[in-house]
Structure 1
């Protein structure tokens, strides 16, 4: 059975359950899914005849199994995190969303892939949508429209692929590549197609931000690997990494900063997968997993800050180290990992990516992005947790133990991967042995962080959060205005006057006749 189906059944049961029972079933669902995924054997396959096709509803390999394990582990952690906050709607939609995200990893045909792709979009849209907050209502509509463009592009690309090959098997594609690129680019928030992400992740309830941070863009990266893995998009990945981190540095609202960093880290994954070798692929996939862990943990941290202080802008925060020491520790672990500090999981994936990339321009690009990443999280950690304030931030309530537990589980895994990177070799076949903690590699990993510390010290006044006008340029509303204008003009022409329609028809026939005679 495809493990994602477990969540679909659970969604129905959860909708009709109440309170403690609902919470228990939700937690048990992810534990059960973890066990099922762990027991799956590579090369397992289930196919079902449908019309003239074979739908491959289960196809297991090491990559899909590893990503699914982390997806279900994070589902467990995010469920525990949200136990005291979630309502019936959340449990229903979250399980459909998680189930679709896991199920899509194990299908082997484009038809099933497309159905699950759309289930993810629809369930996540309704997670975001609410009538209670006007800005969220607006941004959720924007989210839906962007992903519908991706859906239409993907459908058209699949039709072109089928027309060209006569097959709907899920594999690297040969036809409709521009449409596949557009669809996947929107899903993974490729720079230029990313605008849906920050405005939504920063405006929904914080426990929904936690959930969203783990799945949509990561499924986009998985789709890039499965469908377009033969195309080297290394330079595009570097641009995404650098521009994303630059946009993140400008932010003072922490969830928006983290959202731009998702985009930046996606750039690392695009570059790594495009390298076309086992080290690059291993680094890209492991970085995807690490991003789920430490970025999810960071969203949880700021969620606790919002829950306890009702603030999330760095301008309004400071000195939280004394008031929230455990949360500060979790934030430090996540920040050190994303910066690539040795003995944390981010160091392992970033090292593999760098070892798998031979182009010096790409390496320098990653180096610059690494400095920006370290600088961003120095900004968050210092100004939110360590810099004192004349007036202390008021702690209005204490975080529930369930929140602390879920964050502790993720923190433990981040440290485990960092301290014992050999555990990942079960899933990857490296071209040669990698010594993760040789003095040479440790020094290489620390260089961008040391440079970031120097820049932070020299440019402290520039980096310090201060009020500024939000000005995230977005070209797509202008496209919308142009389309609306053209639609209005077209409506004026098509006014229901039959004589005018007959005149157009006769004029067109005369024109075609003259052209034919000539």
Structure 2
């Protein structure tokens, strides 16, 4: 048995040389093979490889890695189907490296292997984003790379500290270098404050690449939190802050992909709250929400992808009335929205119930309640003004059958899991023991959406999308400008004047002398 992600890695270079028809067939075949491979893994399977003075664990299976592996492999199959007639040859090489690294990282058991695949994800995703023909995209991709480089270096430094302190490279909850691990995984998981790389890149790449990135990058960050930082309870408040602020950021923008990008960050906040809680139920609920999040966030990005493909538009100011022309896409968007809103009988409701039932802090409960209202209001805005508004939008293309089929493959489990919670527990191999459909939980799940509907009705004219100049909230750019200006100022002082250099040396000596006297 082999780490399933290796199958994508081994196929990355050969598929580049396949002819178009063979490449499409092989892509679907490989996706199914990897999915089957993950399903056939048994808990407790281990494969090791001696390397220098270490023993690398290239395959280690537990119920959590298997569950996340199932949704990652299934998402890869659906993504490959969705982009079958859209992606160029180079995409397959980079996407396979990216997907293979993302799946491989789930099943390794040592810090060295984890870091290698972590960085392979960064490099391959950078080249997926980079486009030298578009100056702005070239800049945003460079920004992406620098942010993830900082995260990678921080993670590496944390690994060094963990190894120095414990003498082991086994992948487990860490004891040393915790701040470096937090920064490293926080960037990839897009904590608010470390998230700025995500929205600007996700809206400036082809829509099928946005879909691919939305599935893996932040989810691997969440998985890293689970492996390294689970049980560090104060991180729950970081998660709550991310969930709330990102949901309100989504309300202030009209670009649909940016709206969904902020909701991606917001839902990551829910996962962090669950995973870093101090009880077993919360941590399992966080992973459950990761599983569900891949489904409903992917379907939302797929629907806006079809809108972009069909109309060349993605801003609510320019959209409207598309339910008549794209009825199945509208239906899928509504199902995805119900999932992320946490409405009863849809998958997101189940994992949110598990997370909330595990919380002991009333503050966290209220933060998630307000976040739920903001999330519902934002999704209602998208559905109404994109698919049911008065504006007529001209269709340039009709979505391919592959795109529609891919959407169905995600919509189906959203509904099935919502109606039959036992399905996910059978895959999970765990009994969570939650009465999902008690009247109290159902009423609690309905409230945020009911409040959002009331607010939308009363404040319709305020919420209606309007043309405006969106101000950047990226404080890193401001810091960069300050740093550059300071550098230019210091450079200007180095004019070759010898007397000025002597003055600096003399002044420094005086300051040192005063310091010694004090």
Task: State the TM-score, normalized to the length of structure 1.
Answer: 0.94
> What's the secondary structure of 1:55's corresponding residue?
strand
Cα distance between partner residues in 2 of 1:237 and 1:63 = 20
Question: Aligned residue for 1:481?
Answer: 481
Please give the per-residue CA displacement for 1:83-131, whole angstroms capped at 9, x wherever unaligned: 1110111100001000000000011111111111000000000000002
Give the 3 Å change call, closer, same or farther, for CA 273–21 of structure 1 in structure 2: same
Selected match of 2:288 from 271, 286, 289: 286
Question: Does residue 150 in structure 1 map to residue 151 in structure 2?
Answer: yes
> Aligned pair in 2 of structure 1 residues 445, 15: CA closer, same or farther (>3 Å)?
same
Residue 424 of structure 1: aligned partner: 424
- Report if aligned partners of 2:230, 2:283 keep a CA contact under 8 Å in 1: no
The 2-side partners of 1:429 and 1:472 are apart by 44
Q: Are residues 1:350 and 2:336 paired? A: no
Q: Secondary structure at the match of 2:254?
A: coil
Which range is displaced more, 122-131 or 21-30? 21-30
Match of 1:302 among 296, 301, 304: 304
Are the aligned partners of 2:232 and 2:277 in contact in 1 as well (CA < 8 Å)? no
Q: Give the deviation of 1:395 after TM superposition.
A: 1.1
Matching residue of 2:73: 72
Structure 2 matches for 1:93-492, cutoff 5 A? 93-232=94-233, 233-389=235-391, 392-426=392-426, 427=428, 429-430=430-431, 433-488=433-488
**Alignment check: 8 A CA contact 1:279 1:430 kept:** no
CA distance in 2, matches of 1:118, 1:58: 18
Report how far residue 505 of structure 1 moved. Answer: 11
What secondary structure does 1:318 align onto? coil
Q: State how far apart, in whole Å, the 2-side matches of 1:183 and 1:147 are.
A: 8
The 1:360–1:500 alpha-carbon spacing in structure 2 relative to 1, beyond 3 Å, is same
CA distance in 2, matches of 1:123, 1:288: 22
Q: What number of residue pairs does the alignment pair up?
A: 515
Report the Cα distance in structure 1 between the residues aligned to 2:504 and 2:19, rounded to whole angstroms.
Answer: 63
1:22-47 per-position Cα deviation (integer Å, ceiling 9, x unaligned): 11111111110001110111111111
Moved more, 373-382 or 485-494: 485-494
- Mark the CA change 1:437 to 1:430 in structure 2 (over 3 Å): closer, same or farther: same
Residue 472 of structure 1 aligns to a residue whose secondary structure is coil
**Structure 1 residues 74-89: aligned runs within 5 Å:** 74-89=75-90
Matched with 1:91 is 92
In structure 1, C-alpha distance between the alignment counterparts of 2:15 and 2:224, rounded to whole Å: 30
TM-score of the two chains, using structure 2 as the length reference: 0.94
* 8 Å Cα contact 1:136-1:203 kept in structure 2: yes
Is the 1:282–1:428 contact (alpha carbons within 8 Å) kept by the matching residues of 2?
A: no
Deviation digits for residues 403-432 of structure 1 (CA, Å, limit 9, x no counterpart): 00000000011111111111222325446x
Give per-residue Cα distances to partners, 1:449-477, cap 9 Å, x unaligned: 11111111111111111111111211112
Alpha-carbon distance in 2 for matches of 1:110, 1:496? 50
Output the CA distance in 1 between the equivalents of 2:334 and 2:156: 43
SS in 1 for 2:387: helix
Taking the aligned partners of 1:72 and 1:498, their CA distance within structure 2 comes to 66
Which deviates the most, 473-482 or 221-230? 473-482
User: Displacement of 1:438 after TM fit?
Assistant: 2.0
Q: Secondary structure at the match of 2:59?
A: strand
Q: Which moved more, 1:152-161 or 1:119-128?
A: 152-161
Distance 1:468 1:510, change over 3 A: closer
Shift of 1:435: 1.5
Deviations for 1:347-390, whole angstroms, at most 9, x for unmatched residues? 1111111111121111111111111111111000011111222x
Offset of residue 278 of structure 1: 2.3
Instruction: Give deviations 1:44-94, integer Å, cap 9, x for gaps.
Output: 111111111111111110101111110111111111111111011110000
For residue 315 of structure 1, give the secondary structure of its aligned residue in structure 2: coil
Distance 1:511 1:165, change over 3 A: farther
**495-504 or 170-179, which moves further after superposition?**
495-504
Distance in 1 of aligned mates of 2:294 and 2:453? 26
User: Conserved in 2, the CA contact under 8 Å of 1:234 and 1:275?
Assistant: yes
Secondary structure of the residue that 2:289 maps to in structure 1? helix
**Distance in structure 1 (CA, Å) of the matches to 2:373 and 2:507:** 65
Unaligned stretches of 5+ in structure 2? none
Displacement of 1:478 in angstroms is 2.4
Contact 1:96 1:120 in 2 (8 A): yes
SS at match of 2:324: helix
- Tell me if the contact between 1:43 and 1:59 (Cα under 8 Å) persists in the aligned partners: yes
Question: What is the distance in 1 between the residues matched to 2:63 and 2:123?
Answer: 28
Alignment partner of 1:323: what SS?
Answer: coil
Query: Mind listing any 5+ residue stretches in structure 1 that lack a counterpart?
Result: none
Measured at CA, do residues 229 and 496 of structure 1 come closer, stay the same or move farther in structure 2, by a change above 3 Å?
A: farther
